[in-house]
């Protein structure tokens, strides 16, 4: 069996052709970027995704043809809560409002009184990241656009339609909307009334890991893919990343460090969560759940510091990584609050901004860079402590994502959490999770454990043990104190 996995990220789209043993035969990656209109608004044109999708699928179809391979199935995973208004002919009516856009803050404030029912049914307090608040913002602030829209879709919904002519969304995306009842896994009438959104504007819900549609004639002619090839909706990118890192059983945990960072733990049953300190969502494994925490700025924070303070570096990240290694653990007393996009869980403080505290004349840019890195780790620790109220403590935490290229990340995180950190040599955890979804859906493997063992069979595994714990305990205490002083009412 040969599988094409499409992974739709914030800064690029990747397509990977895998064989039946999860061996990577060909990869095509196309970069793009949203446009940051100001400190609040972030948008992107739908043509960025359709153009990249056509180029990727055409290239992989040609690669398969050259090796005399038949593509048996495609598997799609994607960013989860960017919103795209579509006409009755499924044409985009405006740029997408991206997941990190914060224009809905006023609307979220107005609906905050409804948090108890939203948390109980949808698994999260109202927040600017989820798609439902963006849809309600369009209704309130762009009434003409709302009137002309036939559907309000998230990016994977639109791409499924573009490839197959079928308009559906799976439970993982529904669970990032504030509109889906996690218990019934259906759009909830009470939540729809709260947001003043008609059910008719939403896509029909399906389980992740099931066939969303089949490659249409028009898309076949655009790309060379065989018409009728099934397309699996594997689930949201973070759920697939968790799957590709082995989050299968209750209490398994992993951290993905991308544009933002995401902590996901497996949960067999729908938990009763008090307050909004963790997010409950649908797992990529049908019928199961995940507990999730969101750090809104991770690689984006590190990249900002690198670009601002290492402008003459022509060797990538070598200079900043070397200087971080030369800076002592706990960064010489510097504390960074890396809230470049506000704070996600547990407080959902969209007004929080980034700060560097404790600077002296002896502070170096390497110390500040280490402080940024450790600030991200401290924020992860805050969220792990919240998860520990609902799940058993993991014996190890699996780490992946772009920031793992910084050699100081794993030791810093292990020391701050006091837990061993495990890393797999193949960084494509999201794509491997989508491959696993296709492998189980097609019957190639009978279950998720077997699919995971096959996906990771060729991997080298590295484990980093906790060190410098006393230094990091002091640093964490300073971090908490700094946050509480700056934001005493959150």
Rounded to 5, what percent of the chain is helix, strand, coil? 40, 20, 40
d(CA 237, CA 250): 20
What distance in Å separates the CA atoms of residue 408 and residue 426, rounded to the nearest whole number? 19
Q: Which residue's entry shows tokens 């859906």?
A: 441
Sheet of strand 279-282: strand arrangement: 279-282, 289-295, 261-267, 253-257, 397-401, 421-424, 461-464
CA distance 174 to 110: 22
Q: What is the pLDDT of residue 273?
A: 84
User: What local confidence, expressed as pLDDT, does residue 356 receive?
Assistant: 96
Per-residue pLDDT band for 490 (boundaries 50, 70, 90) equals low
| pLDDT (0 to 100) of residue 45 | 97
pLDDT at 314 over 90: no
DSSP 225: P
Three-state SS at 86: strand
Q: Which DSSP helix (H) or strand (E) runs through 93?
A: none
> Which are the contacts of 484, defined by CB distance < 8 A and separation ≥ 6?
none
Q: What is the average pLDDT value for the chain, to the nearest integer? A: 95
Mean pLDDT on 131-138: 98
Helix count and strand count (H, E) for the chain: 17, 24
Q: What is the predicted pLDDT for the residue at 7?
A: 98
Percent of the chain with pLDDT over 90: 90
Read off the tokens for 121: 């049914």
365 φ/ψ angles, rounded to the nearest 5 degrees: -65, -30
Cis? peptide before 362, omega within 30° of 0: no
Q: Which residues contact 200 (CB under 8 A, 6 or more apart)?
A: none
Cis peptide before 346 (omega within 30 of 0): yes
* pLDDT tens sequence across 207-217: 999 999 999 99
pLDDT over 70, % of the chain: 99
Confidence at 433, pLDDT banded by 50, 70, 90:
very high
Q: Decide if pLDDT at 259 tops 80.
A: yes
Q: Is 151 helix (H, G, I), strand (E, B) or coil?
A: strand
pLDDT at 427: 87
List 259's β-bridge partners, or say none: none
Torsion of CA 96, 98, 104, 105, to 10 degrees: -160
Residues 407 and 463 sit within 8 Å (Cβ to Cβ): no
Residues 322-368 pLDDT 10s: 999 999 999 999 999 999 989 988 988 888 999 999 999 999 999 99
- Alpha carbons 248 and 449: distance in angstroms, whole number: 7
In sequence order, the β-bridge partners of residue 7 are 14, 77
Mean pLDDT along residues 295-307:
94
Which H/E stretch holds residue 336?
strand 335-337
Q: What are the φ and ψ backbone dihedral angles of 27, each rounded to 5 degrees?
A: -130, 135
The yes-or-no verdict on residue 315 having pLDDT over 80 is no
Give pLDDT, residue 312: 81
- Give 254's pLDDT tier (boundaries 50, 70, 90): very high
Report the pLDDT averaged over residues 364-392: 95
Q: Which two tokens stand for residue 479?
A: 């971090």
- Give the per-residue pLDDT at 435: 98
Beta-bridged to residue 92, according to DSSP, are 86
Mean pLDDT of 370-384: 97
Q: What are phi and psi of 240, to 5 degrees?
A: -70, -35
Residue 28 has pLDDT above 90, yes or no: yes
Tally of CB atoms within 10 A around 23: 10
Which DSSP string corresponds to 23-36? -EEEEEEEE---EE
pLDDT digits (tens, 9 = 90+) for 159-191: 999 999 999 999 999 999 999 999 999 999 999
What's the rounded mean pLDDT across residues 6-11?
94
Predicted model pTM: 0.87
Q: How confident is the model at residue 478 (pLDDT cuts 50, 70, 90)?
A: very high
Length of the chain: 490
* DSSP H helical ranges for 149-188: 155-164, 171-174
pLDDT exceeds 70 at position 76 = yes
Q: Cα–chain-centroid distance for residue 65?
A: 33
Q: For residue 276, what pLDDT is reported?
A: 80
More confident: 489 or 312: 312
> Which domains are seen in the chain, by residue range?
3-237 (3.30.420.40), 246-424+460-489 (3.30.420.40)
Residue range 435-456: mean pLDDT, rounded: 97
């Amino acid at each position: 069996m040969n599988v094409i996995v499409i992974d739709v990220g914030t800064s690029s789209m990747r397509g990977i052709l895998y064989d039946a043993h999860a061996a990577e035969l060909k990869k095509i990656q196309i970069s793009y970027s949203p446009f940051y209109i100001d400190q609040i608004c972030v948008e992107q044109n739908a043509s960025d995704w359709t153009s990249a999708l056509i180029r990727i699928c055409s290239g992989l179809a040609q690669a398969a043809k050259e090796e005399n391979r038949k593509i048996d199935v495609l598997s799609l995973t994607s960013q989860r809560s960017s919103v795209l208004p579509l006409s009755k002919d499924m044409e985009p009516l405006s740029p997408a409002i991206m997941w990190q856009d914060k224009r809905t803050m006023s609307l979220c404030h107005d609906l905050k009184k409804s948090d108890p029912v939203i948390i109980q049914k949808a698994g999260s307090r109202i927040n600017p990241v989820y798609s439902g608040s963006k849809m309600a913002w369009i209704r309130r602030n762009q009434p003409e656009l709302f009137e002309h829209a036939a559907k309000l879709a998230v990016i994977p919904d639109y791409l499924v339609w573009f490839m197959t002519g079928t308009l559906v969304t799976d439970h993982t995306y529904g669970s990032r909307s504030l509109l889906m009842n996690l218990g019934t896994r259906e759009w909830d009438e009470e939540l729809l009334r709260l947001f003043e959104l008609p059910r008719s504007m939403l896509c029909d819900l399906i389980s992740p890991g099931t066939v969303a549609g089949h490659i249409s004639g028009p898309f076949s002619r655009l790309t060379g893919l065989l018409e009728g090839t099934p397309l699996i909706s594997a689930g949201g990118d973070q759920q697939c990343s968790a799957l590709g890192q082995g989050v299968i059983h209750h209490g398994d945990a992993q951290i993905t460090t991308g544009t933002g960072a995401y902590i996901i733990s497996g949960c067999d049953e729908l938990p009763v969560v008090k307050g909004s300190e963790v997010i409950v969502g649908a797992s990529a494994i049908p019928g199961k759940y995940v507990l999730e925490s969101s750090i809104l700025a991770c690689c984006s924070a590190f990249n900002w510091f690198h670009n601002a303070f290492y402008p003459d570096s022509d060797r990538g990240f070598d200079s900043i990584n070397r200087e971080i290694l030369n800076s002592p653990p706990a960064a010489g007393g510097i504390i960074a609050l890396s809230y470049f996009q506000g704070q996600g869980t547990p407080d959902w403080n969209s007004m929080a901004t980034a700060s560097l505290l404790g600077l002296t004349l002896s502070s170096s840019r390497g110390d500040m860079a280490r402080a940024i890195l450790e600030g991200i780790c401290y924020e992860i620790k805050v969220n792990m402590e919240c998860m520990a109220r609902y799940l058993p403590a993991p014996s190890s935490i699996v780490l992946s994502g772009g920031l793992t290229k910084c050699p100081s990340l794993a030791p810093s995180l292990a020391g701050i959490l006091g837990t061993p950190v495990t890393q797999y040599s193949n960084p494509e955890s999201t794509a491997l999770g989508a491959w696993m979804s296709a492998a189980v859906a097609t019957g190639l493997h009978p279950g998720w454990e077997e699919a995971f063992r096959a996906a990771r069979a060729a991997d080298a595994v590295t484990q980093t043990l906790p060190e410098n714990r006393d230094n990091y305990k002091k640093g964490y205490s300073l971090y908490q104190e700094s946050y509480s002083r700056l934001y005493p009412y959150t």
